[in-house]
Amino acid sequence: MKRAVWMSVLVLALACVVPVSASTFMAMSRGELVAQSDAIVEGVVLKTSSHWTRSGRLIVTEAHVQVTDLVAGEAPSIVVVRTAGGEVGGYAVEAHGFPKLVAGERVFLFLHDVEGGVSEVTGYRLGQYRVVRDKAGVAIAVPTLEPGVRLLTPDGAEAPRPAAMKLEALKGSVRREAERVARPTK
């Protein structure tokens, strides 16, 4: 009996210290991201603000993004992008796997319209890239998917994670895919 109690205590202690994967999402191909997006844009995050939803159960953040290149679809020159999570009045909600947008950041986003001129990022963080410059000054699109997030294929297998790539190569790939699915391109 004592052995069973000690084993239970050991299992419970290990469960408390072993890290657990933050979130699991279905993987989406670039073609699926394009097909499910109303607009694909490159832009700069101008500002962000967080607030409680009408139900008072969730904090969301809205970012105003200045579109610098409308790669495919249709969008105004400034898009409002809503995502789960944020901080209001000392309360914080961290939504693993959901996009996080930071003022001043250059981004590449796959967007779908949700309501009243507000968009969300298609595919959660799969549809969000940060744009940075490498040592040679070349713009690179860097996926924002967190290390703890798991991606699965429809049959439940682990899916490959997106990789960083030259921004112009990503834009070219998106434009070709948008033409294939009859999405307007620039």
**Burial class, 40, CB count within 10 angstroms (exposed 0-12 / middle 13-18 / buried 19+):** buried
Report the C-alpha gap between 104 and 91 in whole angstroms.
24
Q: Is 123 left (phi over 0), alpha (psi -120 to 50) or beta?
A: left
Residue 1 predicted with pLDDT over 50? no
Domains in the chain (CATH in brackets) are: 21-180 (2.40.50.120)
pTM of the entire predicted model: 0.84
Which pLDDT score is estimated for 33? 96
Summarize the confidence of residues 69-83 as an average pLDDT.
97
Q: Is residue 67 pLDDT above 70, yes or no?
A: yes
pLDDT for res 115? 87
